[in-house]
Amino acid sequence: MGNVTLTNRSVDESLVVSQLNKEIKSLEDQNILTQARIAESGSLTLLAERIAQAGYVDNAAIVALPNSASMALR
C-alpha cells in the first residue's frame, strides 16, 4: 500500500511541475511580447510621428552646441 501511495504522490507532483512549467513558459512569452511593445512605443520613428502630430516643427533657427559648457569656461 505504501508503494501505491508514493507512486500516486510522485505522479501528482509530476503533473504539478508540468503545469508550473507551462505557466512559466506562458509568462515568459507574455514578457517577450510586452518588451517588444515597449520597445516599439519608444522607437524614434514612432516618437517622431507623435511629435509631428502634436504640432511641433523643426526650427532651423535654433541651434544647440553639444559642448557649450566647456566653451563657457574658456
CA proximity to 8, closest of 35, 61, 16: 16
Kindly indicate the confidence band of residue 74, based on its pLDDT and cuts at 50, 70 and 90: low
What pLDDT digit, counting tens, does each position of 13-67 carry? 888 999 999 999 999 999 999 999 888 877 888 888 888 888 887 776 766 666 6
Q: pTM of the prediction?
A: 0.49
Distances (CA, A) of 41 to 3, 13, 29, 37: 57, 42, 19, 6
Q: Work out the angle at residue 33's Cα, subtended by the Cα atoms of residues 15 and 49, and round it to the nearest 5 degrees.
A: 170
**Structural domain spans, the chain:** 2-73
